[in-house]
Amino acid sequence: MDASDDSVPFDQQGLVELVAVVTTDPKEQEPVERVGSDNHKSRSGCEPSILLTSSDLEEEGVPLVMLEGGETLNEKSRLKPSSKSTWHGTLKNVCLFSCGLALVSSVVILFLLLSDTNFFQDLGFGLRNSENHVERPILAFRKKQSTGGRRKEFKILQITDIHLGEAEDLDWGPRQDRNTWHALDSILKVEAPVDLLILGGDQLTGNNCEKNGTAYYEELGHFLSSYGKPWATIFGNHDDTEYEAANGERRPALYSRKDLVIADQKSPLSLTQMGPDTIDGTSNYMLDVHDSSGTDVIAQVLLLDSGGGAIPKKISDSQIAWVREQISTSDVPAVAFQHIPTQAHKFFDDSRCQGLHDDGVEVVGYDGGIMQALSATNRFFFLGVGHMHGMGYCCPYESSDLPDPSTVNQNQMHVCFGRHSGYGGYGRWERGCRVYELYYDDDETEARTTPSSETSSKAATRPIMQWSSWVRLESGEIVDKMKL
């Protein structure tokens, strides 16, 4: 190799040298040691070079050339046959090759890291916490096997007010949580198949969670994950409420609603979303439900944060404006959930409502006209709430806005209460979960009612979707079944 090789990058030079060793006659081109070159300086971690001093060269009768600064160099000295055995040179070249390979590999890995983080996600060590990089399930209707697939179903199970973490520092608190796991296990097993779980608020009694509110959400995520079904969470008035110490002192929760969303989203089965920052509350979002082939969106689920805890109990004007915007973009059937009832949920008439009615009704301080906004679209089947542990009924929505409020029909929106599902929180009514089943038959279709520029490319008809609802108790019994 001549002096021009010094301009070749170090790693390439190592490769060139190795190739030279392999492809040339070893007698003609024995491994050499360099003198007067800078190469030896940057080989940290490799076999050190053997440097020949000028006295070595003089001993061998090699004439020296004086350079600027008094240094000596002889052309012959640049290629001096090694007096050592050839294994030494080979070892050096292998070492150079390894260093070069390591450097190239590092550059490739760095490039992949910067250009495509999904590569690492695929390998299983991506940032699972990041909503953008977790593969989450798509919601879709399911073919009902007993009808040969002619009927399609989508079953929602509302788990509400389980109040984990209550009295976490006393014996009965954790025991109560174990009873909750047992109740949910019984209900989930007997009610299968379920397509979506709604965690309807008050998953925690934050008043007693001194510091680990997020840990309870992670525990809940692990528990639900074992059933293999996706869930969507909304917050209640106890999830991030202030902590109440045994001595009566109070202080704000050490975690926020957003912290709970992050903990919830750690499971790939969580469909919970952090709502827009520009509106009040956190758990404000909409989920699409597809047909059984997973292509077209044929229903939607609206989730709202009715406040409480660290924020006021209300549906604010900013939320209503956001809801109006969301629901105007589609004409498919929809359902909605929030934790605290609206004024409309106070209505109860024995002849027109079905279900448990054994409690008072506390409503949000202000609801912005949410029921009017939803019912005016003719898309919503119901708004389901929790909060009142002794209420479990569904009623047709009564409003003076309706032309004839006494007329109840299939399309009339309903107000529904879930069923107290856990052992935390007040009351001893038998635990259960309200189930909402959306369904349609392939051969029953109707014309689309809300044509718009956006729907012009869609089919002119769609399936006639219906719904029914019941409560599944921990004992396995079905009660409070809706008769629509």
Query: CA angle 134-136-138, nearest 5°?
Result: 155
Residues in the chain: 484
* Inter-residue contact 42 to 8 (CB < 8 Å): no
Instruction: State which residue, 202 or 240, has the beta carbon closest to Zn ion.
Output: 202
Instruction: State which residue, 282 or 375, has the beta carbon closest to Zn ion.
Output: 282
Per CB under 5 A, does 202 bind Zn ion?
yes
Interatomic CA distance for residues 161 and 158, integer angstroms: 10
Of the candidates 274, 276, 342, the residue with the CA atom closest to the CA atom of residue 306: 342
Q: Which amino acid is at 78?
A: R
Instruction: State which residue, 288 or 359, has the beta carbon closest to Zn ion.
Output: 359
Q: Which amino acid is at 214?
A: T
Instruction: State which residue, 89 or 309, has the beta carbon closest to Zn ion.
Output: 309
To Zn ion, the closest distance from the beta carbon of 427 in angstroms equals 9
Interatomic CA distance for residues 233 and 236, integer angstroms: 10
Interatomic CA distance for residues 195 and 157, integer angstroms: 8
Point out which span in 124-132, 245-253, 288-296, 417-425 binds Zn ion (CB under 5 A): 417-425
To Zn ion, the closest distance from the beta carbon of 135 in angstroms equals 33
Of the candidates 366, 355, 374, the residue with the CA atom closest to the CA atom of residue 482: 355
To Zn ion, the closest distance from the beta carbon of 251 in angstroms equals 21
For residue 461, give both structure tokens.
């008809």
To Zn ion, the closest distance from the beta carbon of 175 in angstroms equals 19
Look up tokens 């399609």; give the residue: 152
To Zn ion, the closest distance from the beta carbon of 221 in angstroms equals 20
To Zn ion, the closest distance from the beta carbon of 419 in angstroms equals 12
Per CB under 5 A, does 161 bind Zn ion?
yes
Instruction: State which residue, 57 or 162, has the beta carbon closest to Zn ion.
Output: 162
Point out which span in 10-18, 112-120, 198-206, 391-399 binds Zn ion (CB under 5 A): 198-206
Point out which span in 99-107, 202-210, 301-309, 397-405 binds Zn ion (CB under 5 A): 202-210
Interatomic CA distance for residues 228 and 217, integer angstroms: 17
Q: Residue 146 — φ and ψ, nearest 5°? A: -70, -15
Interatomic CA distance for residues 403 and 410, integer angstroms: 16
The count of residues interacting with Zn ion (CB under 5 A) is: 3
To Zn ion, the closest distance from the beta carbon of 201 in angstroms equals 7
To Zn ion, the closest distance from the beta carbon of 211 in angstroms equals 21
Instruction: State which residue, 392 or 425, has the beta carbon closest to Zn ion.
Output: 425
Instruction: State which residue, 330 or 342, has the beta carbon closest to Zn ion.
Output: 342
Of the candidates 265, 353, 362, 349, the residue with the CA atom closest to the CA atom of residue 307: 362
Instruction: State which residue, 204 or 286, has the beta carbon closest to Zn ion.
Output: 204
Per CB under 5 A, does 239 bind Zn ion?
no
3-state secondary structure (DSSP) of residue 343: helix
For residue 321, give both structure tokens.
């404006």
To Zn ion, the closest distance from the beta carbon of 237 in angstroms equals 7
Interatomic CA distance for residues 205 and 243, integer angstroms: 9
Instruction: State which residue, 161 or 195, has the beta carbon closest to Zn ion.
Output: 161
Look up tokens 């404006």; give the residue: 321
Binding-site member from 14, 392, 418, 425 for Zn ion (CB under 5 A):
425
Point out which span in 153-161, 292-300, 376-384, 395-403 binds Zn ion (CB under 5 A): 153-161
To Zn ion, the closest distance from the beta carbon of 387 in angstroms equals 6
Residues with Cβ within 8 Å of residue 183, at least 6 apart in sequence: 421, 422, 423, 431, 474
Point out which span in 86-94, 144-152, 156-164, 365-373 binds Zn ion (CB under 5 A): 156-164
Interatomic CA distance for residues 259 and 252, integer angstroms: 14
Instruction: State which residue, 333 or 384, has the beta carbon closest to Zn ion.
Output: 384
Point out which span in 196-204, 315-323, 333-341, 435-443 binds Zn ion (CB under 5 A): 196-204
Q: Which chain residues interact with Zn ion by CB under 5 A?
A: 161, 202, 425
